[in-house]
Structure 1
Amino acid sequence: MSLNDKVVLITGGGTGIGADAAHAFHAAGAKVVLNGRRQDKLSQTAAKIDPSGESVAYLAGDIGRLETSQNLMELAVERFGGVDILFNNAGVFQPKAFLDHTEQDLNGYLNLLRGYFFTSQAAIPEIRKRGGGAIVNLGSMWALHAIAATPCSGSSAAKGAVHALTRNLAIEFAPENIRVNAIAPAVVETPLFDSLLTPEQLASFNAFHPLGRNGQPKDITEAVLFLADDSRSGWITGIVLPVDGGVTTGRN
């Protein structure tokens, strides 16, 4: 693996997929910089990854604000000398009928898109200084495959834009050896669903996936590590990879 001594930035890194990926990157020898809204969750995750704090740092803040992205890059450079990999993972998701969407709902999803945009914009000059690197964006299966039982037009519109951003950046920065890819998960059991579904309701989605189970954070983490690792995916850029238990393969 080529992740040893790399500097990895992870947004939404306090819990769920982001925290799981942070542990895995660190185990592969990388230094990790975390971002999220909640200071307490970030500090807990950072302490579990490296109690000494020598190979992990974190910054709380709204990633949709330009200054948060800029401050995150400054922290990475100050602590670890640069940036090699960015995992744009921060997310919000709440199935809701289209006519029930409010201005606040849409603003939340668009704020997330701004976060992916501005964090990539801040990271690329630093990645360029290292001679190349990788960006992995968290997209969505729902942006590829609408599901009647879970209407989510606001989220899907924003995640569809993330997919488009992925392809555009992949083309623009391929000459500089900066690879940009996205992952499109289906239902992954993370704290994101805690306020939306009971454990029984969440379990009912197992059958929604042709492979017979909901995803776990490690399922996404394995795909992220693959796409971030130049020794394993160095000839892959611009893809949106469904990691969805087979949902987008066809009707189940």
Structure 2
Amino acid sequence: MNKQAIIVGGTTGMGKATAELLLKDGIEVTIIGRSDKNLKTTEEELSKIGTVKTVGLDLFDSKQLQIFINNLNSTTPNLKYLVNAAGYFSPKLFIEHTSDDYDLYHNFNKAFFFITQQTAKIMKDNGGGSIVNIGSMWAKQAIKATPSSAYSMAKAGLHSLTQHLAMELAEHNIRVNAVSPAVVVTPIYGAFIEEDKIEEALQGFNDFHPIGRVGRPEDIAKTIHFLLTDQSSWVTGAIWDIDGGVMAGRN
């Protein structure tokens, strides 16, 4: 049986870096994304490493989402791994948030919830599996310079879901963990920083991290890969701070 993985939001950043590691293990990877351009580029790049398939999906479109979920049994019957990596981040004051702002963040969790539900059913039939959610340091620590109440509330919910699913799914040999990154150089900041200036802009956060630098997608992907595989077979319900030491203390 060829093991299969799904990465929701795997065309860039941490999700893409994780896909590369899984492909090197010989695992078939299905990458979910919304941008046709990014999907095409990612498939071209990663197909050089292993067997990869891309699926265009708007997580906020309930009809598209349900069709995708309904087809999972036939498209990924050997599913063993799931990474919920899609996201959006744009700092905004709490008093300026609109209902649309709120829904933008929390509808990601709704999609994750029901995709994870169906993948767990498949993993159960396959004798087990592993799920990793990408949470956030902002769910644990408020940063005044980057006000993000709705985003942080959604990520805290994802942390909580991680722990609850770890308890419920353990009897089916399904492990569920999460990572909680600090500032990582990824396109997610493109919502409020020009894409070609993200790298430069985020260097201003180097000293924010005790270890002295911002994170790279590979830093997080290596931990996600570890949590997915049997190397961490006695780890479930964990929310790992992969944050350059931020939660230990800031400079």
User: Under a length normalisation based on structure 2, what TM-score does the superposition of the two structures give?
Assistant: 0.92
- Indicate if the aligned counterparts of 1:206 and 1:214 stay in contact, CA closer than 8 A: yes
The CA deviation at 1:248 is: 0.5
Deviations 1:108-161 (A, max 9, x none): 001111121111011111111110000100000000111121111010000000
Give the counterpart of 2:166 among 164, 170, 184: 170
What is the alpha-carbon root mean square deviation over aligned residues? 1.9
Matched, 1:118 2:117: no
Give the counterpart of 2:146 among 143, 150, 155: 150
- Indicate if the aligned counterparts of 1:63 and 1:119 stay in contact, CA closer than 8 A: no
- Indicate if the aligned counterparts of 1:33 and 1:76 stay in contact, CA closer than 8 A: no
Give the counterpart of 2:41 among 41, 44, 66: 44
Give the counterpart of 1:196 among 189, 192, 208: 192
The CA deviation at 1:69 is: 4.7
Count the aligned residue pairs: 247
Partner secondary structure for residue 119 of structure 2? helix
Q: Label 1:222 to 1:117 Cα distance change in 2 as closer, same or farther (>3 A).
A: same
Q: Which residue of 1 aligns with 2:156?
A: 160
Matched, 1:248 2:247: yes
User: Under a length normalisation based on structure 1, what TM-score does the superposition of the two structures give?
Assistant: 0.91
Q: Which residue of 1 aligns with 2:96?
A: 100
- Indicate if the aligned counterparts of 1:39 and 1:59 stay in contact, CA closer than 8 A: no
Mapped to 2, the partners of 1:127 and 1:66 lie a distance apart of 23
Q: Structure 1: which 5+ residue stretches go unaligned?
A: none
The CA deviation at 1:23 is: 1.3
- Indicate if the aligned counterparts of 1:144 and 1:160 stay in contact, CA closer than 8 A: yes
Q: Structure 2: which 5+ residue stretches go unaligned?
A: none
Q: Which stretch of structure 1 is more off in the superposition, 154-163 or 68-77? A: 68-77
Q: Label 1:51 to 1:251 Cα distance change in 2 as closer, same or farther (>3 A).
A: closer
- Indicate if the aligned counterparts of 2:3 and 2:78 stay in contact, CA closer than 8 A: no
Matched, 1:225 2:218: no
The CA deviation at 1:50 is: 1.1
Give the counterpart of 2:125 among 124, 129, 138: 129
Q: Which stretch of structure 1 is more off in the superposition, 14-23 or 150-159? A: 14-23
Mapped to 2, the partners of 1:208 and 1:171 lie a distance apart of 34
Partner secondary structure for residue 247 of structure 1? coil
1:4-153 residue pairs with structure 2 within 5 A?
5-50=2-47, 55-72=51-68, 77-153=73-149
Mapped to 1, the partners of 2:240 and 2:37 lie a distance apart of 32
Mapped to 1, the partners of 2:46 and 2:201 lie a distance apart of 31
Mapped to 2, the partners of 1:168 and 1:18 lie a distance apart of 23
Partner secondary structure for residue 9 of structure 1? strand
The CA deviation at 1:51 is: 5.1
The CA deviation at 1:200 is: 3.3
The CA deviation at 1:67 is: 4.8
- Indicate if the aligned counterparts of 2:77 and 2:122 stay in contact, CA closer than 8 A: no
